[in-house]
Amino acid sequence: MGVFRGIASLSLDAKGRLSMPVRYRQSLLDAAEGRLILTVDIDRCLLLYPLPIWEDVERKLLQLSSTHPRARALKRLLLGHAEECGMDASGRILLPGPLREFAHLDKRVVLVGQGNKFEIWDEPAWNTWRETLLAGGGDDGNEPLPDLDSLAF
């Protein structure tokens, strides 16, 4: 499976479907036969994983403590919202209504390659996040990475 990189501005159709860019379709078919997992992220975007990658993430999540508050919250968020979705013959993926609502996805979205997965952002929210980061706001890069971040979610 190839590495997912780059950014694409896309439109959702009236049914809430996202048409995957052609450059990713064959990799997704090869890696997962078009079977994907969609879940939410704390940044109010969606995460889209090929099924085999998600299964590794899921195993790691299940190994986390059920008593540690942050680990429990992460499991609730990622596992609780996870939905399997398939890519149709036209390369489209239906984004379920509750997940679209969570990420405030309307018509214009941004697909952001993140190596082993994609992020799907509302385009105005992505632009705001990016501009805030570039202006020096948000993450200053000085905070140490928590142990959970090493799990490659």
pLDDT(146) > 60:
no
For residues 83 and 96, is the Cβ–Cβ distance under 8 A?
A: yes
pLDDT(152) > 70:
no
pLDDT(142) > 60:
no
- pLDDT at res. 148: 53
Give the integer Cα–Cα distance in Å for 75 and 68: 11
CA atoms within 13 A on the CB side of 153: 23
Higher local confidence (pLDDT), 42 or 140: 42
Class (C level, CATH) for 7-137: alpha beta
DSSP letter, residue 75? H
Give the integer Cα–Cα distance in Å for 134 and 21: 26
For residues 56 and 62, is the Cβ–Cβ distance under 8 A?
A: no
Higher local confidence (pLDDT), 143 or 54: 54
Where does the pLDDT of residue 3 fall: very low under 50, low under 70, confident under 90, or very high at 90 and above? Answer: confident
Taking Cα atoms as reference points, which of 74, 120, 73, 68 lies closest to residue 99?
120
Where does the pLDDT of residue 38 fall: very low under 50, low under 70, confident under 90, or very high at 90 and above? Answer: very high
For residues 47 and 38, is the Cβ–Cβ distance under 8 A?
A: yes
